Chain A
Amino acid sequence: MMFEKGFLILPEIIVIGAAAFFFGAAMGKVRSATILLAAGSSAALAALGSAVATFSRHGLLFGVYQIDVVSQTFKIIILGGLLLILLCTPRLRGITSAFSAEYFLFLFSGCVGLCLMTSTAELMTMILSIEIASYAFYVLVPLRSKRYEREPFEAGIKYMFFGGAATALTLYGMSYLYGMARSTYLSNLARELPVLLAAEPLAVIGLVLFLVGICFKLGLAPLHYWMPDAFTGAAHETACAIATLPKVAALCLLLRIFALASTSDGTVALVFGTMAVLSMSIGNLSALGQRDIKRLLAYSGIAHAGYLVVGMLASSSVGMAAVIYYAVGYVVMLVACFFVLYQLAPHGENITIEDLHGLARRSPLLAVTLTVAAIGLAGIPPTIGFTGKFLMFAAALKHGWYIMVGFAIVNVCIAAFYYLRLIRAVYTGVSERAERITLPFHTAVSAVSLIGAIVVAGIVPRPLFENVLPAATSLLARF
């Protein structure tokens, strides 16, 4: 009996085991990138496999830890994303080589926190798992190679202070929720919250403050200030992980809490609608003037957090499924962008739009990868970005969020401008650097698979969509 239940947390155990292995490697000064990468990707693969295998609903440890279709779906996305990042950035170009083992240690401990986040059904455990993930990712930022003296540390400190402030607000909101509902279990909150939200203004304030920490991870305005600096300060590998994985886990928590509070109407929904509109407008308008690609991607990430909230506010199972579907697409598209940056920077230096000039002649395959990823992020068919946005906005329209969807569509048009500017730089820019970039075979395979994933999942959305639909349905029908 005991071991049967232990089997359910196999993915977490494997990821923790991998983190312990890297801890040992750091102690023993193992710096061989090949060994570390092999260990990392096989652990991620094993964890992914076991997450697929443990697809049943169970409550563990007094109901604090819940294994269900939602948690397992999100774990698969997170672990799949981790595997993708490891395979697309195989050698740590931007990280001090003395810290390779430490880099993997913190990457994997962060993923432990993210996996725990998806399964928690109790507020204390939730905040602790958020913090485990946050601390691990805070440490990753300053591990950048010595080429950059000051920026990584500044970025790391900013990331940590903003994160700490967000956590403080979350705890403050939690104290209100606990004071009113007298329980930290989500199942009890699900019973009490809808009543409390209708009757008590303090419950609304408590819930919104509580969600601040989660919105911080998601990068939703007005909690987005850390993103541009953290991205430019961090190495490409780190930025890629920070931009994708914590967002997926935060989205899981946000969807769970939003669904259980059944706040499709009312003040909380209004607050989130405003935040979504702010997020999209601030993100897209700020991205227009950026020259550094990572900064541009950070602002585009802020805008994308807004799009995801638009889909979430539809609060139908189709809307929620569209959000999860889009999250998968976002991970793939962003990894594709960072993959190109990583290939362009042999020593992990930051890339500006000028550096992209003439890329189409230097490496046609990388140029196509970046183009496909950019038109995906812009939401132009036939990519996963278009299909996901279409499904989310359609669901929100069905719920009657006309003004918000209007804002979203205007924003998509604004965003197209700077994504297309990237593509213009790639194809029409003239550069004195004419040397060709030759890609090794496995890199070419990664590029082709990323392009394939973005396009195929956009043209044939049904398999992916139907696989995430059960999670969305169970989110809304949970307690």
Chain B
Amino acid sequence: MSEYRIIAEVVFYLLIVLTVAGAVLAVTARILIHAVVGLAVTFLGVAGFYVYLGSPFLSMMQILIYAGAITIVLVFGTMIGYTPRQIVETKIRDKNLRLALPACLVSGVVLCSAVVTAGLGTMRQSGDTGIADIGKRLLYEFSLAFELISLLLLIAMVGAMVIVGGQEERDAE
């Protein structure tokens, strides 16, 4: 095994630790902004996996959109809604924990056993994942999907505006 491969494997396992640690922090943090940071770390870890899966483009998009834009929106939301040091009541204890743990265990065991018994041999790498190929697919076979996304975003945006912005009109009645 060449030293490059060893380095690559070490980095891969580091990424796993980072992703899981970020997720655990996001769920258990008592200060809300810490949870956001944990989530951002998870996003970055997932971006690392995409590199290992052979899609640097997807990885860049993950960093740009999730680790960048979405995290910023979350930070904004947190800062507007709470004072940053405010401690939120985490509801991970007691009843919720008793319900969540079995749910996670069952689904985890089912998925893991299926993966272990069957192996991922049938999961084939889907050919070319370069930017040119993605662009071509978006304008040919996924052209309708591409257009539908704009319709979906329009509906979601107008909906948000009506619900939030329309409150004054609602109150005026």
- A-B pairs, 5 with minimum CB distance: A139-B159, A98-B169, A128-B148, A179-B123, A124-B145
* B111-A102 in contact (CB<8A): no
Q: Which one, A41-49, A59-67, A386-394, A395-403, is touching chain B?
A: A59-67
List B residues 120-146 near A (Cβ within 8 Å): 120, 122-124, 126, 140-145
Verify B173–A97 contact, CB threshold 8 A. Answer: yes
Q: Which residues of A contact B158 (CB under 8 A)?
A: 23, 105
> Once bound together, how far apart are the Cα atoms of A125 and B138, in whole Å?
12
Q: Which A residues are in CB contact (< 8 Å) with B120?
A: 202
Known contacts A62-B141, A146-B170; A182 and B126 CB within 8 A of each other: yes
For the complex formed, measure the closest distance between the CB of B58 and the CB atoms of chain A, giving whole angstroms.
13
On whether A143 and B162 interact (CB within 8 A), knowing A65-B144, A135-B152, A179-B123, the answer reads yes
For A180, the chain B residues whose CB sits under 8 A away are 122-124
A129 at interface (Cβ–Cβ under 8 A)? yes
Whether, in the assembled complex, B73 has its beta carbon less than 8 Å from a beta carbon of chain A, the answer is no
Shortest A64–chain B CB gap in Å is: 5
B contacts with A: majority SS:
helix
**Residues from chain B with Cβ under 8 Å of A96 in the complex:** 169-170, 173
Bound-state CA distance A136–B118 (Å) is 40
B151 near A132: Cβ-Cβ < 8 Å: yes
Interchain CB contact (< 8 A) of B170 among A98, A124, A200: A98
* B118:A61 contact, CB within 8 angstroms: no
Q: List 9 A-B contacts (CB under 8 A).
A: A125-B144, A128-B145, A132-B155, A136-B159, A142-B163, A143-B162, A145-B173, A201-B114, A202-B115
Interface positions of B from 32 to 55, Cβ below 8 Å from A: none
Contact mask for chain A residues 35-73; partner B; CB cutoff 8 A; 1 contact, 0 none? 000000000000000000000000001111100000000
- A211: chain B residues within 8 A (beta carbon): none
Residue of A nearest to B163 (CB): A142
Q: Report the minimal beta-carbon distance from B112 to chain A, rounded to whole angstroms.
A: 11
Q: Is A205 an interface residue (CB 8 A)?
A: yes
Contact status A205-B110, CB under 8 Å: yes
Q: Which of A97, A139, A156, A202 contacts B122 (CB 8 A)?
A: A202
Instruction: Identify which of A102, A112, A145, A202 contacts B118 (C-beta below 8 A).
Output: A202
**Does A138 sit at the interface, judged by CB under 8 A?**
yes
Interface members, chain B 84-126 (any A CB < 8 Å): 110-111, 114-115, 117-118, 120, 122-124, 126
**B166 at the A interface (CB under 8 A):** yes
Interface centre among A131, A135, A156 (most CB of B within 10 A): A135
| A128 in contact with B149 given A102-B162, A135-B155, A202-B118 (CB within 8 Å) | yes
Query: Which chain B residues (159-173) contact chain A, with CB distance < 8 Å?
Result: 159, 162-163, 166, 169-173
B8 close to A (CB within 8 Å)? no
B147 to chain A minimum Cβ distance, whole angstroms, is 9
A122-B148 in contact (CB<8A)? no
In the assembled complex, the CB of B125 is this many whole angstroms from the nearest CB of chain A, namely: 9
- Complex Cα distance, B173 from A414, in Å, reads 44
Seed contacts A196-B122, A202-B122; 14 additional CB < 8 Å A-B pairs = A64-B145, A99-B169, A102-B162, A106-B155, A106-B159, A124-B142, A128-B145, A132-B152, A135-B159, A139-B155, A143-B163, A202-B115, A202-B120, A205-B111
Determine whether the beta carbon of B110 is less than 8 Å from that of A178: no
Known contacts A178-B126, A202-B122: A128-B152 contact under CB 8 Å: yes
Find chain B residues with CB under 8 A from A196 CB: 122
Check B144 against A205 for contact (C-beta < 8 Å). Answer: no
Whether A98 lies near B114 (C-beta < 8 A) is no
Determine if A227 is an interface residue (Cβ-Cβ < 8 Å): no
- Flag A128-158 by CB within 8 Å of B: 1 or 0 each: 1101100110110011011000000000100
Contact B111 A132 (CB under 8 A): no
In the assembled complex, the CB of B133 is this many whole angstroms from the nearest CB of chain A, namely: 14
A29 to chain B, nearest CB (A): 9
Instruction: Flag if A61 contacts B126 (CB, 8 Å).
Output: no
CA A238 to CA B132, docked complex, whole Å: 44
